[in-house]
Chains A and B, each alone.
Chain A
Amino acid sequence: MYDVYKIRKQFPMLNSDIKMQNKPLVFLDNCSTTFKPQCVIDAITEYYTEYNSNSHRGDYDLSYKVDVMIEDARKEVATLVNAEENEVVFTDGATSALNLVAYGYGLKYLKKGDEIVISVAEHASNVLPWFRIAELTGAVIKYVDIQDGKILPENLRKVMSKKTKIVSLAQVGNVLGYVADVKEFAKIAHEYGAIMVVDGAQSVPHLKVDFKDTGIDFLAFSAHKMCGPTGIGALVGKYQLLCDMDPFTTGGGMNSIFKKDGTVDYRLPPYKFESGTLNIAGILGFGRAVKFIKEIGIDNIHKHDQELIDYAIEKLKDYENIIIYNKDARNGILTFNIKGVFPQDESTLLNYKGIAIRSGEHCAKLLDNYLDTKATCRMSTYLYTSKEDIDTFVDAIINGGDILDAYFN
């Protein structure tokens, strides 16, 4: 039995009488970031109050303990997505993970005329690194068609060619929230000799992702979207590819030897990619967050998200002035507009009612032509979202009142 109220008790943000516009806070912007449970906050605090020391450095017990704790966190992350521990590279987040693949792999292996396949629904973090690599190497960007909001394997096949070297797509799009069949994508990419990169920022927090079973080559995700701290995430990559690719940043901690004549020996992956002092508090908080997710069960979280979206859609379906763009996505994301109301005006009105949602282009600036609207409102749930949150949200949008209420009440 999924007890959302018991889960909510563990989140200080949900138990501190926090108000927004003098109304109880209802947080429905979980695609953007998520609240942290006390155990994650404690893991971070404990590092600074009980184990503060650098990793890979000291010849003393405290530092050794931190090394062990970092590797424990790596193991937690690896088992969450069914990868080997040495396939998990800690990064600053999904963005830096995707940049690491782009610069470490793309820049090394792509040549003029090679093709990189993405889609118009991608987040900026899975578009702009590839634009840069295309600019630097002379490679060409190709776009797979979106059909009914989804990226379908048959449409991917249509843009593939012998020149395709990289396919990089989100498993769950951050605007429409459909789950893509990345296992099939990987199969197609490999048929053409390309690698399959998956932006897992919106999928790993919400559903079971199996790195080995899907056969994908790289998977990028962020901790803060799954109850972990900001500024930390992971790139999971097939070990051989991690060995082949270049480091993106170099410095302390990632080399085993360097000499005056320029000879450098890098450490083996994943350490080859982790230069400088690590975000140790972040890593330990990330590890604890993953443990927390596993305790609740990722499949239970997925089901909970689906039930909440179904519940919201059921309540909204008879209102003709509410346009829902992703009715059948059922993955914790509801994208909508109110006829005749600018999305930002709607989100301001909801802010006035204490409800946090996101409006705008959601960093997917290539998608507006497809949706036939420049911007949308996005409500997104997570493991602590309650039906009461949805009730408040639905009530607020159907009894919206004047958009200027926010300014004059």
Chain B
Amino acid sequence: MPTLTNDMMRSIIMDHYSNPQNKHQPPKEGYEKVHMHSDNCIDDLDIFLLVNDNIITDACFDGTACTISTSSTDIMCDLLRGKEINEGRKIIDAFHHMMHEEEFDAELLDEAIVFINTSKQAARIRCATIGWNAAEEILKDK
């Protein structure tokens, strides 16, 4: 993937915050839901995954969320859609590694790389990861 400048990363975050394509209720039945509520932020979200035969067919979310959690969860939904469960788990792991300044495969994270600086604002790691933790919870027993 191309190297992103800071300005490009900013605009990606703001775009997914101002116009989150995946922020809506599930369009039909069959989605699995996990509710997440942050202790220290406004975030109060439902994350929905539709899983069919080992494939994450669709992902969406809804609720109240700050800039970081909205854009991070929106990007995550894009990334997980169409992936096999194992691939999805690998992407989520890579994101957690990035959050904690550990080694990770940037290829897997694609646009989610824009959150690489979250560790500089450690109090916001919980916002950046809230949707990812929910997705991880849904995929845990699959």
Contact = CB atoms under 8 A, between A and B. Distances in A.
B40 A348 contact: no
Interface residues of A, number: 17
A374 interface: yes
Interface stretch (A70-78, A319-327, A338-346): A338-346
A331 B33 CA distance: 44
Given A342-B42, A344-B127, A360-B42, A402 B67 contact: no
A374 B42 CA distance: 7
B14 A348 contact: no
Interface centre among B6, B120, B127 (most CB of A within 10 A): B120
B127 to A, nearest CB: 7
A79 interface: no
Contacts of A404: 10, 13-14, 67
Given A404-B13, A408-B9, A408-B10, A343 B121 contact: no
A381 B121 CA distance: 24
B120 A406 contact: yes
A399 B41 CA distance: 23
B112 interface: no
A375 interface: yes
A54 interface: no
Nearest to A347: B123
B39 to A, nearest CB: 9
Interface in B13-51: 13-14, 40-42
A406 B10 CA distance: 11
A345 B68 CA distance: 8
A402 B127 CA distance: 18
B64 interface: yes
A407 interface: yes
A345 B66 contact: yes
A5 B67 CA distance: 39
Contacts of A342: 42, 66-67
Interface string A53-75: 00000000000000000000000
Contacts of A312: none
A351 interface: yes
B124 interface: yes
B64 to A, nearest CB: 6
Interface in A392-409: 402-404, 406-408
A248 to B, nearest CB: 26
Contacts of B120: 21, 406-407
Interface string A363-388: 00000000000110000000000000
Nearest to A408: B6
Given A344-B127, A408-B10, A403 B67 contact: yes
A352 interface: yes
B117 interface: yes
Interface in A328-343: 342-343
Contacts of A360: 40-42
A344 B41 CA distance: 6
Contacts of A402: 10
Nearest to A406: B121
Given A402-B10, A404-B10, A408-B9, A345 B121 contact: no
Given A348-B124, A402-B10, A407-B121, 18 more contacts: A342-B42, A342-B67, A343-B42, A344-B127, A345-B68, A348-B68, A352-B121, A360-B41, A360-B42, A374-B42, A375-B42, A404-B10, A404-B67, A406-B120, A407-B120, A408-B7, A408-B9, A408-B10
11 contacts: A342-B67, A343-B42, A344-B42, A345-B67, A345-B68, A360-B40, A360-B42, A402-B10, A407-B13, A408-B7, A408-B10
